[in-house]
Structure 1
């Protein structure tokens, strides 16, 4: 856990109303709050999907639980206007400088071998929101792309046990607005390698992604147990979804 020590500014006008803070480790974090309007599961989704993506060696900013003290809120009217409560929120490390993920910017990235993994991941966790704001590209001699914003994964910010169980044995192909820009860098071998990596995750390993979720975030242990079951089951069904998408990608030599 990190503690916010300085409020800097609002990030954008998105629904989550994310704000930028400096924390006690000296890094900057883009923080989303418990009361943001994108669903009561928003923060659990962010933390869990960050952990899962990191297990799969995918490019995501470091994610942490961020404690915001009352003192910081008292000093800054914008936080009061947002009705931010002191306590535990979610933050991802601020990556900068960055540029829009245009086709040209993506082509310059040095980590395009991760593109197949991104598509497999998005299908696995039911991420229907991989849009132009949810991929960023760094600026510099060796640009990299990063996957950000995972509130809408797992079926969105309002998932329930019933919804998870209904969707654990079938993976509907996910094809979002950003995926076509990565088509030149995805082929059968890359997809198969990404699927193999996903399927190598044991249920015990997946369970590590759901530990220590703050009670304030409103997820019960029963719900987390079902979420682990859901993710473990879906990893075997992703291949069928990817097979439906494979005609879109270049064939391996």
Structure 2
């Protein structure tokens, strides 16, 4: 985006934007944040409820310790149900917004148990749903992970050593994150875990 294009971003979005390559998500109309819908919808009220397990597993793989009610969107469907969408992955990886080679080598566990993750595993009745999402991550070829990290735009100024460390981090996490997923599910899930 150019400086001129940035001027068209509404002021209610307080982030400071710099000219250059940006990341943007598709705007989903007719959505509200999970935080705006008390009480939380039940499993039967969510049409795509199996994606909740996918969100939980993905967050554990990439160490997204910032999964909150405000970055889970509920899209109201015509039949009175909801579709779930996850947004905002800005604080993934150890170090959050400021991840780098040093923070990626710390391999910290989550510092807090997210209320969204607790809600998610509380709605799971079948542990095989978690396993299927874990298997999808395990099946990701290392070459594909490397390719995605190589495509980080140059104007984001991510040094090569940080990119290499991120590839290593994701590959190592791929081999070890399943245990933390199952431990969390046993701690907060239903009696089937």
TM-score, normalising length: structure 1: 0.64
- State how far apart, in whole Å, the 2-side matches of 1:132 and 1:69 are: 32
Please say if residues 97 and 138 of structure 1, whose CA atoms lie closer than 8 Å, have aligned partners that are also in contact.
Answer: yes
Please say if residues 171 and 234 of structure 1, whose CA atoms lie closer than 8 Å, have aligned partners that are also in contact.
Answer: no
Query: Are residues 1:133 and 2:70 paired?
Result: yes
Q: In angstroms, what is the RMSD of aligned CA positions?
A: 2.8
- Note the residue ranges of structure 2 that are not aligned, 5 or more in a row: none
Please say if residues 188 and 251 of structure 1, whose CA atoms lie closer than 8 Å, have aligned partners that are also in contact.
Answer: no
Q: Which moved more, 1:130-139 or 1:109-118?
A: 109-118
Pairing 1:1-253 to 2, within 5 Å after superposition: 68-73=1-6, 78=11, 84-101=17-34, 102=37, 103-104=40-41, 107-141=44-78, 143-155=82-94, 156-167=96-107, 171-172=109-110, 175-182=113-120, 183-185=122-124, 187-247=126-186, 248-251=188-191
Q: Secondary structure at the match of 2:135?
A: helix
Deviations 1:100-159 (A, max 9, x none): 324127642211111212111111111111111110010122531011111111120111
Higher strand share: 1
- State how far apart, in whole Å, the 2-side matches of 1:151 and 1:106 are: 27
Kindly tell me: are residues 109 and 222 of structure 1, through their superposed partners in 2, closer, same or farther at Cα, counting changes over 3 Å? Answer: same
Q: Secondary structure at the match of 1:162?
A: helix
- Note the residue ranges of structure 1 that are not aligned, 5 or more in a row: 1-67
Aligned length in residues: 183
Larger RCO: Structure 1 or Structure 2 (Cα < 8 Å, ≥ 6 residues apart)?
A: 2
User: 1:252 offset after TM fit, Å?
Assistant: 5.1
- State how far apart, in whole Å, the 2-side matches of 1:107 and 1:187 are: 15
Q: Which moved more, 1:239-248 or 1:131-140?
A: 239-248
Please say if residues 43 and 123 of structure 2, whose CA atoms lie closer than 8 Å, have aligned partners that are also in contact.
Answer: no
Kindly tell me: are residues 242 and 173 of structure 1, through their superposed partners in 2, closer, same or farther at Cα, counting changes over 3 Å? Answer: farther
- State how far apart, in whole Å, the 1-side matches of 2:88 and 2:18 are: 21
User: 1:224 offset after TM fit, Å?
Assistant: 0.9
User: 1:229 offset after TM fit, Å?
Assistant: 0.9
